[in-house]
Amino acid sequence: MDHATVVEAIFAAETSAIVTPRPVVEAATARRLRDAFEPLSMHAVWSPLVHERLSAEGLDFFGTYVLGRGCVLGRPSGRVVAAAFAAFEPGLIAGIWDAAVAVVGVDEGRRLTFDSTAESLARVLEGADSVDIESVGARLGEMVDGLDPTGRPLFAGVQSLPWHEDPYGRLWQACLALREHRGDAHVAAYLGEGFDPVRMNILTELWLDYPVGEYSGTRAWPEEATAAAIAQLRADGLIDESDVITPRGTEVRDAIEARTDAMEQAVVDALGAHLDDIVSRLSEWSARCIEARTFPPDPRKRAAG
């Protein structure tokens, strides 16, 4: 599937009546930072320029996404990439990865992704204070270098790479690193509570006010796995027979989010007194990404990440 087709499907929904989800409104500090950088960190996924460059090499939307995100891991098998991504049906991710690597190669795919993302972000943020771009990117980059990568494979992959020479590339790379840092922590948090990815996807989408299947369905799990997950969530009292999250389900999902936030405390501590200012600047630049249609406008998508 090409980039334009996916964008048409994801961006076409009317969002003016969608209320910002409660977990965003009531977000703790670590979550506020994550929501601020999400559209920046996912620029490679939604940028038309990035997809133009990778489609010229023979990759479609999903090949660009999987190779562009997984390339930080080096040259693993597709099964390893799928395990790191966690949320998606593993056979799908493994197959896409292996096919994309065969077409482009890891090193060239990474170079194209990083270079075209830097170029695209520079266009989207044209007119923004370049000193701010450079200083925020440098501060975030310094923090990323100092974080402990233990148990965080995707974060460790980004952290191990040399910093992009372009300030817009460095800003994006730092945001990507922080996104993967939190994502790796979130996977650990929900696995530690006994959830598998299918049940976690469904519980999360209901927690964010999606109807069941609208978000989790994009993760390509087979119908029988989804049906079994829904049945288990009902049996555990986390969703009701109408597929609405219960108070108990909200409590459990809130606790997993709180655990994820706690695992991000090192990031909050490292930013210290600079955090509010950085959140403000990242939010401003992320808004520019949404305006430029390089990130979906639905606030639930931004929160689901």
Asked whether residue 13 carries a pLDDT value surpassing 80, the answer given is no
Tokens 């170079």 map to which residue? 111
Asked whether residue 17 carries a pLDDT value surpassing 80, the answer given is no
Contacts of 26 (CB under 8 A, 6+ apart): none
Can you give the residue range of the structural domain that contains 73?
3-294
Residue 305 within a domain? no
Asked whether residue 16 carries a pLDDT value surpassing 80, the answer given is no
Residue from 15, 25, 116, 19 nearest 67 by CA: 116
Residue 166 within a domain? yes
Residue 302 within a domain? no
Tokens 């910093």 map to which residue? 163
- How many domains does the chain divide into? 1
Q: What is the pLDDT of residue 263?
A: 98
CA dist 215 and 272 (Å) reads 34
Residue 299 within a domain? no
Residue 269 within a domain? yes
Q: What is the pLDDT of residue 179?
A: 98
CA dist 98 and 101 (Å) reads 5
Residue 297 exposure: Cα atoms within 13 Å on the Cβ side: 13
* Residue 115: φ, ψ to 5°: -70, -45
Q: What is the pLDDT of residue 68?
A: 97
CA dist 189 and 253 (Å) reads 11
pLDDT digits (tens, 9 = 90+) for 155-200: 999 999 999 999 999 999 999 999 999 999 999 999 999 999 999 9
Residue 300 within a domain? no
Residue 301 within a domain? no
Three-state DSSP class for residue 81: helix
Q: Which two tokens stand for residue 246?
A: 């219960």
